[in-house]
Amino acid sequence: MLRKSIAAAALAAFVIGVVSGAAADDKPLEPWERKENHVKPPKDSPLDYLVSGYWFRTPKTRALQDDDFENPAFLWVETAEIEWTKVDGKAGKACASCHQTAEKSMKGVSARYPVYSARDKKLIAVQHQVNHCRKNYMKAKTWKWESDKMLGMAAYIGLQSRGMPVNVSIDGPARPFFEAGKAFYHERRGQFDLACKHCHQANFGQYIRADFLSQGHSNGFPTYRLKWQKLGSLHRRFRGCNNNIRAIPYKRGSPEYTNLELYLAWRGLGLKVETPSVRQ
């Protein structure tokens, strides 16, 4: 009881500037409150409706995402488009050697990742698959998770699914990984003794310090975050959240974060892929 009381006090101190989920009669609805921006959640979802983080951002930020010419993430995407056809490694191959044009071969790929890999007998994200191809088929050096080349390639692959609904599978061999991600999402951790659900399930539409909380969906990653002034991965965001609650973060690409990525993708099932998005 004492631990829960301390956690409640920490959350109360951490979350400020409450915004009501139901608008007053004389106040227009915020974009995230409008039903036309809501998506029906998957069966057994803890949320009554889904709404993309896009609708929690300012009109100026949304406009930046909507314009491919102005969207700063496209600097990385354009570089990746060149990398796609660039021969690299001892095998003398490029991504295009096996996958031809990304517009056709990569369409829908990001919408269904992460996936269970029978080859690796584990859950893998897009970045894992990119490095598998580089190492085993191209005989090239692998890329670091947060490197510009990996971020660009993940965003370029994601772009081919833009507008398509998130459609991950949590059945069969993927189920244990999904359950592990779900457990991670609901587990209290860190000095603040908080879980992901305390911010993105119980308090979306409110402020944490200067940060306006969304439902915490993953449909826009990799994302150009204004705070970072660069493109960043979903696992970087996980690490940032862990640091914010003073919990020890895991490595990017770790099983813990990949499992969490699957749970978040399921939690946003049906939302449209927005990669590469722009966030605050």
Mark whether 108 and 126 lie in a shared domain.
Answer: yes
Domain boundaries, position 269: 29-69+167-279
Mark whether 105 and 59 lie in a shared domain.
Answer: no
Task: State pTM to two decimals.
Answer: 0.90
- The C-alpha atoms of residue 112 and residue 253 are separated, in whole angstroms, by 17
Domain boundary residue, one of 138, 159, 180: 159
Q: What is the pLDDT of residues 175-200, one digit of tens each?
A: 999 999 999 999 999 999 999 999 99
Q: Answer yes or no: is pLDDT of 6 > 70.
A: no
Task: Please tell me which residue in 95, 133, 196, 241 is annotated as part of the active site.
Answer: 241
Q: Nearest 5°: phi and psi at 223?
A: -125, 150
Which pLDDT does position 21 carry in this prediction? Answer: 43
Q: How many CB atoms lie within 10 A of CB 149?
A: 16
Q: Where are the alpha helices (DSSP H) in 160-233?
A: 175-186, 196-200
Structure tokens at 124: 């893998």
Mark whether 193 and 237 lie in a shared domain.
Answer: yes
Mark whether 176 and 261 lie in a shared domain.
Answer: yes
What lies within 8 Å, CB to CB, of 111 at 6+ separation is: 161, 164, 165, 166, 167, 168, 273
Tally the domains of the chain: 2
Is 4 domain-assigned? Answer: no
Q: What is the pLDDT of residues 36-61, one digit of tens each?
A: 999 999 999 999 999 999 999 999 99
Q: Could you tell me where the beta strands, DSSP code E, fall in the chain? A: 15-16, 115-117, 122-124, 207-208, 211-212, 223-225, 230-232, 277-279
Q: What is the pLDDT of residues 125-179, one digit of tens each?
A: 999 999 999 999 999 999 999 999 999 999 999 999 999 999 999 999 999 999 9
Mark whether 126 and 183 lie in a shared domain.
Answer: no
- The C-alpha atoms of residue 215 and residue 197 are separated, in whole angstroms, by 9
What's the sign of the alpha-carbon dihedral 57, 248, 141, 161?
Answer: negative
Mark whether 204 and 124 lie in a shared domain.
Answer: no
Q: Name beta bridge partners: 230.
A: 225
Mark whether 52 and 152 lie in a shared domain.
Answer: no
Mark whether 43 and 129 lie in a shared domain.
Answer: no
- Concerning whether 196 is annotated as a catalytic residue, the answer is no
Q: What is the CATH number of the domain that holds 133?
A: 1.10.760.10
Mark whether 128 and 222 lie in a shared domain.
Answer: no
